A and B are shown apart, each in its own frame.
Chain A
């Protein structure tokens, strides 16, 4: 095997990119570490990695190469994207089984990051249907479900719009929560329903930070205490912003 210094640089930077993509699209810290280890082992490199929420630190060594690769990469705070997590996981096993080389991995990464999201109208409709489902689970009737549907639809639309305008991500959640609860609160003011919990509380449930919370505890169980705490705190902030939006709507309507 004649591996050179440029090889280790190439492998290292690809591994870092994969780690950063996984981290920002909602994988747990353990998964990031496992995937990077699995890939580097197939090429005979040894990796040591520090995984934190906003940056990755990676050192790659090889017994036959005198130089080593060591670099820090910031992870961009993109939204959850399980299509990417699934694609990278599939790719990592194909790299092991079919002995891919680095250029093939690069091509596949380019393909995976370019994969389209669901159609925006479809996302809005299905998430609004989920809001109506939550309302039904809480015991709401058909009218309350319809209110929850509309409120969730507009709430998510506001969230996407403010996100596109570049507002702070917690502020986006606040705007979404406020607009969703203003709409569902209006229905109560108009006398369409008299239980506050049904449509009012369920219209903001699409904002629930489920992935941060579940990943937080997954990290804690795996022993990545620091990452778990950071993710949990992030989830708490989102939850607080949802509550703030609800509270503002309640103040406006004097509930």
Chain B
């Protein structure tokens, strides 16, 4: 049954599996940043959710920058109720959960491209390397920007300065 839903969404299990790895990647950074122990499980969940959102959007052919923005803002909004639940500022959840989405691949290719550009051009591939490097560089820049905006979007939209003043109301049935 589950498989039917997945095929309707146009995904396979490989995509879902990536959510697990997004979670573990975030967990590594959470431990590195010495977060309080009570937040670890939630960071894993948030990172998996955000990463899956990004992958699902990418799978539908959405631009990588917008997909990252969708994932990041999901993490941003989800971190507010979690902050109330665990009595800790939302950035403790959002920053480790966002870091697996930092475009390491694009940054790596940008740096490699820049290094290649220092070689004296001898053939036509120089302009191709230049094109790719500029494209990768701007992708890196814009994705990191969208991550930061996504994390702070609940505060910006509600015009509050602290998450303590911000209660997301849940209607009880």
Contacts and interface: CB of A to CB of B under 8 A. Distances in A.
Interface string B20-47: 0111111111111111100100000000
A126 B27 contact: yes
A239 B34 contact: no
26 contacts: A26-B33, A81-B33, A85-B92, A86-B36, A86-B88, A90-B87, A122-B31, A129-B24, A129-B28, A130-B24, A132-B24, A133-B21, A133-B100, A134-B25, A134-B100, A136-B18, A137-B21, A208-B99, A208-B102, A208-B107, A214-B147, A217-B144, A217-B147, A242-B111, A243-B108, A246-B112
Given A205-B104, A208-B99, A239-B111, 9 more contacts: A83-B34, A85-B92, A90-B88, A128-B28, A201-B108, A206-B32, A214-B148, A243-B108, A247-B115
A129 B27 contact: yes
A136 B108 contact: no
Interface in A204-234: 205-206, 208, 210-211, 213-214, 216-218, 221
B134 interface: no
Contacts of B162: 34
A137 B35 contact: no
B153 to A, nearest CB: 10
B64 interface: no
A138 interface: yes
B115 A243 contact: yes
Contacts of B39: 86
Interface residues of A, number: 53
B22 A218 contact: no
B49 interface: no
A219 B145 CA distance: 11
Interface of A: 26-28, 30-31, 34, 80-87, 89-90, 93, 117-118, 122-123, 126-134, 136-138, 197, 201-202, 205-206, 208, 210-211, 213-214, 216-218, 221, 239-240, 242-243, 246-247
A239 B105 contact: no
B152 interface: yes
B100 A137 contact: yes
A118 B87 CA distance: 20
B115 A210 contact: no
A102 to B, nearest CB: 22
B73 to A, nearest CB: 14
Q: From A137, A206, A208, A243, name the one whose CB has the most chain B CB atoms within 10 angstroms.
A: A137
Specify the main secondary structure of chain A where it touches its partner.
Answer: helix
B32 A221 contact: no
Contact of A218 (B114, B152, B161): B152
Given A34-B161, A127-B28, A247-B115, A82 B104 contact: no
Interface string B72-102: 0000000000000001110110011011101
Given A31-B89, A202-B104, A239-B111, A83 B31 contact: no
Contacts of B26: 130
B141 to A, nearest CB: 10
Interface in B141-173: 144-145, 147-149, 151-152, 156, 161-162, 164
Contacts of B21: 133-134, 136-137
Query: Ordered nearest first, which 4 A-B pairs have the shortest CB separation?
Result: A130-B28, A217-B148, A243-B111, A210-B99
Contacts of B33: 26, 80-82, 211
A182 to B, nearest CB: 16
A213 B144 contact: yes
A242 B152 CA distance: 28
B115 A93 contact: no
Contacts of A90: 87-88
B164 A211 contact: no
A83 B104 contact: no
A205 B18 CA distance: 17
Nearest to B39: A86
A118 B25 contact: no
A93 B164 contact: yes
